[in-house]
Structure 1
Amino acid sequence: MQLSEAWLRELVNPPISTAELVGQLTMAGLEVDSVTPAAAEFSGVVVGEVLTMEPHPDADRLRVCRVEVGEPEPLQIVCGAANVRVGLKIPAALIGAVLPGDFKIKKSKLRGVESFGMLCSEKELGLAKDAEGLMELPADAPVGNDIRDYLSLNDNVIEVDLTPNRADCLSVEGIAREVAVLNRLNFKPEHVMPVSAVHQDTLAVAVSAAEYCPRYSGRLIKNVNPDAETPLWMQERLRRSGLRSLGPLVDVTNYILLEMGQPLHAFDADKLTGGIRVRLAEAGEKLNLLNDQEIVLDNETLVIADDSRALALAGVMGGSESAVGDKTSNIFLECAYFSPDTIMGKARRYGLHTDSSHRFERGVDPYLQSRALERATQLILSIVGGSVGPVMEVKSEAALPKRLPVLLRKQQILDILCVELEDEVISDIFERLGMSVETAEEGWQVTPPGFRFDIAIEADLIEEVARIVGYNNLPQSELFMRSELSKAPEAMLELDRAKDFLVDRGYQEAITYSFVDEAIQKIIAPDDEFIPLQNPISSELAVMRTTLWCGLLRAALHNINRQHTRVRLFETGLRFVRRDGAIHQQKMLAGLAIGDVYAEQWGDKGRAIDFFDVKADLEALFALTGITMRFEAAIHPALHPGQSAQIFSASGEIIGWMGMLHPSLEKQLDLDSRVFLFELDQDLLLNKAIPAFKPLSKFPSVRRDMALIVDENVTAGQIVNVIKSCNEPMIQDIMIFDVYRGPGVEAGCKSIALGLVFQDFSQTLTDSQIDAIFSKLLAALADKTNAKLRD
């Protein structure tokens, strides 16, 4: 909700500053997002009047004007605006004036003719982004007055971020009511006198869906002036509320929406056939909206129609075929109450969101329509004239929402807020909020007004007391409770420790949506059965993720598009999979790496990250657990078939995957560099081996190296596992220090060199003992991997 502070202070004007007003609103639950000046800073601009106008002698498009600005003599000003004319009143910037952007007005010559100022448009004053000509002021604008004073530009625009339950504050009157209560001032909305009918012409109104539209009213206004213009004061209030002027008839309905919170709509009466019908649409019925969008309606959508066709989407937007325009002379002014359940979700269903739907979805006062219609009628008559017909109203009392009294117990206020207030203070708060209060045995029976849809239970009333008294004025109390610390299992690695480790390795933690784009989900994990959302926020958040890679890849692309070429991200979160007809949540830790191994520096030429760099990060992470993990080459649809591996725990459980993103997916996702990914089962990852003391041997160790010739498809991990399976207690360490392919090694084979460290705890090992173990290892390797010693 965006509103002018000056407009608000016309309704209620507490003796406090703008900063104090903003603080009050925020502390009362109406959070203020921003406070901005109503106009850009400028000075030296006054109301001027063009007295004479002559062609420029040397320029066809320029005019030499004599302009009255309230000084002893008129000023000569050269102007090229198309709408400049004798008698026009406009903003005139005098010599020495400073316009937005620090543009200073000086005496100048335009094509040889002196000019002593400048005539201004809205754009030059910072009041609009674009302007087709000079800003035209009303004929009664006082010449010589400072334009800032005349237009009340020394004003602030306050933007309030309202929660969905506070629909009563979606109007200037609603905000004014809150300000009045907070400052203990009297405020009652201005009483609007009914406008007497001049003619008796009416349109028949029939409501066939009373439960959706309990109150519908309207009236014919004939012979309005289609050439009339919206007064400048109304245009300014609309502008400061974020709306642009669209002509007096539309502007009046928008003004009432802002002032009272009641949406209205004006139909061109000459475009209607027969009477007004409030009904449910027929399935397949079409409607052309004001935004030139054609929608196909379903039979659950409420429409306003005439005898031949649908005219408007009820509570959302009018139709283009019955819209008022520059030639409209007769209008039917509509004012209705639509139940929130009827409007909720309808705008989104058709890809719309309007100021009207925003209010009707949250709830409009069901007793406001008569006052709003009369107020709009008064404004229309004062601006465009016309003759007014009688009000036609169709109402269903049974379908109108009822506000039931709510019991508020005095003891509950004390128990919850820890403050004891006088009875008169409690009654005064609710009466100023527009509620009726009756004394009850335990406290009060409070009946909320029609505009407070959020008051239903006792807790709501206690919240109102806390808001108005002020949360900062409530007594503070410490919460004492006995807490028992849970035991930290030694066999479990803390997740925060794993996160800190990845940060130390250069990764940054990311948090992405659990909802992802279905298209990305399908290309990254085509074999997973994903879960679609019934009511997604958008098409890009339509399914539950089965892998954290979906969000991380989008985050990486976002960074790359903003010139970050080196990206390291990780995320912990849930993935959602359907298994055996049920939805399972699985905690995962996933990561992504793109770019060079190290940030740019002088001491290294730079090298792009590769598979083994990321594998080293993971092995270092696994080292925190004290458990050795096993990497095995495997095929994953999202990973490069030659650079992907499945990761297994020591017990053989699958922990996760790592590898390089498949080149085809790189292309589909518009990534122009290699991407390396990993994803691990969080629960399995965090299992930790309990450290155990191992005595140190006082006897020397012996190292023996062996170089083995093996087939190309035999991995170093397989060789190490064979050696470990021999269960030789004297082998203390195994190191792979070389892999060789080339001359001396036959095609299809490779040489793997290992270093073995032998040590005993009871004696110094002899060569014969080591030779026996060495022979046993070679036999096992030859048997299981077909390895042989390299010559």
Structure 2
Amino acid sequence: MKITLDWLKSHLDTNATADEVAATLNRIGLEVEGIENPAEKLKGFRVAKILTADPHPQADKLQVLTVDTGNGAAPLQVVCGAPNARAGLVGVLGTAGAVVPANGMELKVAAVRGVESNGMMCSSRELELGDDHDGIIELPEGAPIGQDFAEYAGRNDPVIDISITPNRQDCMGVRGIARDLAAAGLGTLKPLDVPSIEGAGEPAVDFRTDDTEGCPAFYGRTISGVSNSAAAPEWMLRRLEAVGQRSISALVDITNYVMLDLGRPSHVYDSAKLSGTVVARRAKDGETVTALNEKLYALTSDMTVIADDKGVHDIAGIMGGLESGCSEGTTDVLLEIAYFTPEKIAVTGQKLGLSSDARGRFERGVDPAFLDDATAIITDYILKICGGTASTVKRSGAAPVADKVISYDPNLSATLGGIAVEPARQRAILESLGFGVTEGDIWQIAVPSWRRDMDAAPDVVEEVTRIVGFDNIESVPLPRADGVAKPTATAEQMLERRLRRGAAAAGFNEAVTWSFISEKEAEPFGGGHWTLANPISEDLKVMRPTLLAGLLSAAQRNQARGATSIRLFEIGRRYLVDAERPTLCVVMAGDKRARDWQNGKAAPFDAFDAKAAAVELLEAAGAPADRLQVMDAVTEGQIWHPGQSATLRLGPKAVLAEFGALHPSLTKAFDVDGPVMAVQIFLDAIPAKRASGPARAAYTPPALQAVRRDFAFLAPEGLSAANLVRIIKGADKANITDARLFDRFAGQGVPEGQVSLAVEVTLQPKDKSFTDAELKAVADKVVAAAAKAGASLRG
């Protein structure tokens, strides 16, 4: 939100500079994103008077002017092509060195068609003051010659850009920011002048609310005989323009000003364009409305609208309709001041993809107790600027004003907030913010109607500590035993650290994606189990059921930007029906190895790369990799490619990881080219490591040389080679130290439906070398173990 220093001082009695205001705002939790002084853009431009205007000797459409720049300086010669340039005109001269705001051109002394020119007489468009560029600016004859134009035009008011967090609905107006600054000691909050306007007669247009859930209160009045051709006051237009609001008409400028000034949106309808009773109601499925942005919106029955007998005129709380908007010829208006339920506004805005200043305030929650005061203030502006006669105020429904009282122990500022604040100071802070304070052993804090974010004692602590200053919280070291800090990381955090280092060491790049995705992205994974009630957008609506969705989207973006080899990993949470599950996910796409002169074509990733990554990461996590069993994939839906994916388990039910190629339909849904390999490691399924001593046992190399024996087995094609190797390795744990598959063959000499698997077995003698009988005994155990797995020794 943008405010100007002058605008702020209309509510805050202070001598503070813009920099002092910004420093205080940052200190109390209202982050300042920047300060811009429009006078900087107009530096080098001054009020000047044309003394003479003679034809240019070399150009019919140019004139040679002599210009008085004031302050006793000699007149300057300026070449000008504006049709309205003439002797006696007072305008704006840009001198050498000035930079034209509209195009960034730096003015220099230069010859124009052979005649020296010492600057430029400027149009409104060139100074970004309007769209007029047919002639140069004409100022009143009494304008002070030589004065800086920024100062003359009131363009020297610094603009402060403030980032307002969603919970601070009270600071969505200049007055709310002024209140916070006053509480911080930067000045005194001025009283708000609320006029008393009784009005005469009933409103000429009847209105009511039929949707008390979406629009609990609909206040308003009609004003007849207004003149919308009148211009809003210069001070109002200047403030609106400074914060980026262009002038539309007097009536619209007034409502925009009050919205920015007091955080209170409103709407004005042209009464002549309304038919029958105006009603706040639910839309009907299929109804449409053309909004003020000239776009057509299709409505649904869960949206609140403002309609009359002819149809919808307003998307309630978000944007008015084009048909009933005020024009220059408007003479009678209906002023609407309503309260709309924040959650309803947020959902409607998200569904329609429609944002506006009004929506930003209504979905945060406006002050429900301010409807009457806002009606009076806006009516007063309209009567003073546009004239007319106001009716009495009609009130349909009731604003949800609830008395909220919080029990508060003032000692919490020290025990919870970390700052011991005297009770008298706490009371002064809270009262300056609008809270009511009743002291006792436990204070009773009455919450003002504009602070719907206040719910409990910790919220009160935050108000006190932020005004005192979070930088006043004393730094206190953690307790130490025997001078050594106790570890603070949990076992889960330590596991994630090991995996993060292991994945990075294996050549993967860490990605951090959104925890929420679109319904479309969740659909291939069976849909999301949790849907946000107030999402940032429709594309970030569902809590992710898997990390694959975010990583596949990231892979697609990388491919679109020319990446040929993608290795991404992420550690995060999956959100399932019963709980959120910590998970590590890996995605590999594109080339595993680039083409070169030795290997020829580039090599893509395959399922074995995914398996190798899964085993390596499980080893890094401390899982017993030697006991892992390879079994079928278990994830529901078309996620994994059949025959090119599997799971790693410790027993039939303990699934530690899934790995392999993703299903082509899944990669197509995310528009990722080529086969994609992936790994999902379920961190909560990894068995905890047992406590051990501070150091490992010393490594003693064996005294005798290892013995290796090769075995060739015939096995069914569906038999897992990894499981066969694991079974063989466990055939004689006392003597067999390793086993590995070194050959796989199918074809001539091998029966159909079977495959030849060759396994190298390593045996390690201890005290003495093996005898032939001992080697045969071990071999028999190997063959017997393989037979139980379904493999037979090949003859």
TM-score (norm 1): 0.80
Question: Structure 2 counterpart of 1:216, which letter?
Answer: Y
CA 1:431–1:495: 2 relative to 1, 3 Å: closer
Question: 1:88 & 1:650 partners in 2: Cα distance?
Answer: 94
What is the CA distance between 1:45 and its match in structure 2?
1.4
Distance in 1 (alpha carbons) for counterparts of 2:114 and 2:604? 66
Determine the structure 1 residue equivalent to 2:108: 106
Distance apart, 1:393 and its partner CA: 0.5
Task: Measure how far apart 1:688 and its partner are.
Answer: 5.2
Confirm or deny that 1:217 pairs with 2:220.
yes
Amino acid at match of 1:591: V
Give the partner amino acid of 1:511. V
Asked if 1:185 is matched to 2:187, the reply is yes
1:347-402 CA-to-partner distances (Å, cap 9, x unmatched) read: 445443322233234443455455545554565566xx543203420247975625
C-alpha deviation, 1:176, in angstroms: 1.7
Equivalent residue, structure 2, for 1:630:
629
SS in 2 for 1:216: strand
What does 1:187-586 correspond to in 2, within 5 Å?
187-189=189-191, 191=193, 203-208=204-209, 212=215, 214=217, 216-224=219-227, 226=229, 228-229=230-231, 233-273=235-275, 277-281=278-282, 283-284=284-285, 286-295=288-297, 303-306=305-308, 308-325=310-327, 327-332=328-333, 334-338=335-339, 340=341, 344-345=345-346, 346-366=348-368, 368-369=370-371, 372-373=374-375, 375-376=377-378, 379-380=381-382, 386-395=386-395, 399=399, 401=401, 403=403, 419=420, 421=422, 423=424, 425=425, 428-434=428-434, 449-454=448-453, 460-473=459-472, 494-523=495-524, 525=525, 528=526, 530-531=528-529, 533=531, 535=533, 537=535, 538-577=537-576, 583=578, 585-586=580-581
Structure 1 gap segments, 5+ residues each: none
Match among 143, 159, 162 for residue 160 of structure 1:
162
Are residues 85 and 617 of structure 1, via their aligned partners in 2, closer, same or farther at CA, if it must alter by over 3 Å?
farther
Question: How big is the shift at 1:638?
Answer: 3.1
Q: Is the 8 A contact 1:491 1:690 kept in 2?
A: no
Deviations 1:92-133 (A, max 9, x none): 3123323458632123455566544234456644679x8866
Q: Tell me the residue number matched to 2:737.
A: 732
One-letter code aligned to 2:337: A
Does the aligned pair in 1 maintain the 2:516–2:544 contact within 8 Å? yes
Structure 1 residue 618 and structure 2 residue 623: aligned?
no
Specify the alignment match of 1:647 in structure 2: 648
Q: Which of 566, 572, 592 matches 2:587?
A: 592
Report the alpha carbon displacement of residue 607 of structure 1 after superposing the two structures with TM: 5.4
Q: Is the 8 A contact 1:639 1:662 kept in 2?
A: yes
Paired residues, number? 771
After the TM superposition, which of the residue ranges 209-218 and 243-252 deviates more from structure 2? 209-218
Q: Distance in 1 between matches of 2:729 and 2:446?
A: 80
For the Cα contact (< 8 Å) 1:201–1:390, is it kept in 2? no
TM-aligned CA distance change 1:447 to 1:496, over 3 Å: closer
Closer/same/farther in 2, CA of residues 390 and 714 from structure 1, 3 Å limit:
closer
User: 2: CA distance between counterparts of 1:456 and 1:487?
Assistant: 31
In the alignment, the residues of structure 1 paired with residue 726 and residue 427 of structure 2 have an alpha-carbon distance, to the nearest angstrom, of 81
CA RMSD of aligned residues (A): 4.9
Does the Cα contact within 8 Å between 2:31 and 2:163 map onto a contact in 1?
yes
Contact kept? 2:195, 2:380, Cα under 8 Å: no
The amino acid that maps onto 1:764 is S
Q: What SS does structure 1 have at the residue aligned with 2:680? A: strand
Aligned counterpart, 1:788: 794
* 3-state DSSP of counterpart to 2:96: strand
Give the structure 2 partner of residue 757 of structure 1: 762
Contact 2:219 2:396 in 1 (8 A): no
Question: In 1, are the aligned partners of 2:203 and 2:394 still within 8 Å (CA)?
Answer: no
- Given that 1:32 and 1:160 are in contact with CA atoms closer than 8 Å, whether structure 2 keeps it comes out as yes
2:80 match:
78
Q: Structure 2: how far apart are the matches of 1:252 and 1:751? A: 86
Post-superposition offset of 1:781: 5.5
Equivalent AA in structure 1 for residue 613 of structure 2:
D
* 1:678 CA displacement: 0.9
* Contact 2:78 2:120 survives alignment (8 Å): no
Q: Is the 8 A contact 2:573 2:582 kept in 1?
A: yes
**Residue correspondence of structure 1 range 15-94 to structure 2 within 5 A:** 15-38=15-38, 41=41, 43-48=43-48, 64=63, 66=65, 68=67, 70-71=69-70, 73=75, 75-79=77-81, 91-94=92-95
Change over 3 Å in CA distance of 1:594–1:367 after alignment to 2:
closer
Structure-2 residue corresponding to 1:703: 708
Judging changes above 3 Å, is the alpha-carbon distance between structure 1 residues 261 and 649 closer, same or farther for their aligned structure 2 residues? same
Compared CA separation, residues 126 and 609, structure 1 to 2 (3 A)? farther
Alignment partner of 1:280: what SS? strand
The amino acid that maps onto 2:47 is: V
Query: Contact conserved, 2:614 with 2:681, CA < 8 A, in 1?
Result: no
* Equivalent residue letter for 1:575: R
Alignment-mate amino acid for residue 504 of structure 2: V
For the residues of structure 2 that align with 1:434 and 1:725, how far apart are their CA atoms? Answer: 75
Letter in 1 for 2:178: A
Instruction: Please say if residues 517 and 541 of structure 2, whose CA atoms lie closer than 8 Å, have aligned partners that are also in contact.
Output: yes
Instruction: Name the aligned partner's letter for residue 548 of structure 2.
Output: W
CA gap of 1:769–1:97, structure 2 versus 1, over 3 A, is closer
Q: Is the 8 A contact 1:39 1:126 kept in 2?
A: no
Q: Deviations over 1:570-611 (max 9, x none)?
A: 223333445xxxx35444322112345479999999855444
Inter-CA distance 229–563: structure 2 relative to 1 (3 Å threshold): farther
Q: Which amino acid aligns with 1:561?
A: A
* Worse-matched range after superposition: 605-614 or 663-672: 605-614
Distance 1:29 1:205, change over 3 A: farther
AA of the residue aligned to 1:358: G
